[in-house]
């Protein structure tokens, strides 16, 4: 039988609390020796130097690299008299045309967003901030070359 004088319910509670595991007993995490960009994973299995690739992409994105290559291929392909009859050259030129179309559409979306932002700033922002933004845009537009149209 338990002696009630020596029974301390608080110490029993503390003992149970301190033995309860709130965190894993063994902490480990696998180390990813590579890196990912969207759904592309670069590691030792598919690259001899994943750190080098990461450094390159930090300065020149894949999109920028591919865009420069498309520009070069387009220039070289159009110099070939039979480019429209050569399927790989025609496909590369068609790809560049589609990519350029996406770029133009995105530029138009950014301009539309800028218009909306200016309207918001004019309606709800400080007048001097709106005036300064419009003045900066006018200066930028004045510096652009004429299109000749």
Measure the CA–CA gap between 110 and 137, rounded to whole angstroms.
Answer: 14
For the cut 70, the answer to whether the pLDDT of residue 135 exceeds it is: yes
pLDDT digits (tens, 9 = 90+) for 10-28: 565 555 555 555 656 665 5
pLDDT band at 146 (very low <50, low <70, confident <90, very high): confident
Look at 21 and 110; give whichever has higher pLDDT: 110
CA-only gyration radius of the chain, Å: 32
| DSSP alpha helix (H) spans, the chain | 9-19, 50-59, 62-78, 87-124, 127-143
pLDDT band at 47 (very low <50, low <70, confident <90, very high): confident
Look at 3 and 56; give whichever has higher pLDDT: 56
First-to-last alpha carbon distance for the chain, in angstroms, is 104
Q: Of 98, 99, 79, which is closest to residue 89 (Cα–Cα)?
A: 79
pLDDT band at 147 (very low <50, low <70, confident <90, very high): confident
Residue 61: the pLDDT is: 86
Return the minimum-mean-pLDDT range out of 12-26, 61-75, 92-106.
12-26
Residue 40: the pLDDT is: 67
């Amino acid at each position: 039988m338990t002696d009630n004088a020596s029974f301390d319910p608080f110490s029993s509670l503390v003992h149970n609390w301190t033995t309860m595991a709130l965190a894993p007993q063994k902490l480990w995490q696998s180390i990813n020796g590579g890196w990912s960009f969207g759904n592309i994973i670069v590691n030792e299995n598919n690259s001899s130097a994943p750190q080098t690739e990461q450094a390159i992409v930090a300065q020149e994105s894949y999109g920028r690299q591919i865009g420069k290559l498309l520009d070069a291929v387009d220039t070289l392909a159009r110099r070939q008299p039979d480019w429209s009859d050569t399927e790989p050259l025609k496909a590369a030129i068609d790809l560049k045309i589609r990519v350029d179309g996406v770029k133009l559409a995105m530029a138009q979306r950014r301009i539309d967003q800028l218009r909306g932002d200016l309207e918001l700033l004019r309606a709800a922002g400080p007048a001097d901030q709106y005036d300064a933004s419009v003045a900066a845009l006018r200066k930028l537009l004045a510096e652009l070359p004429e299109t000749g149209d």
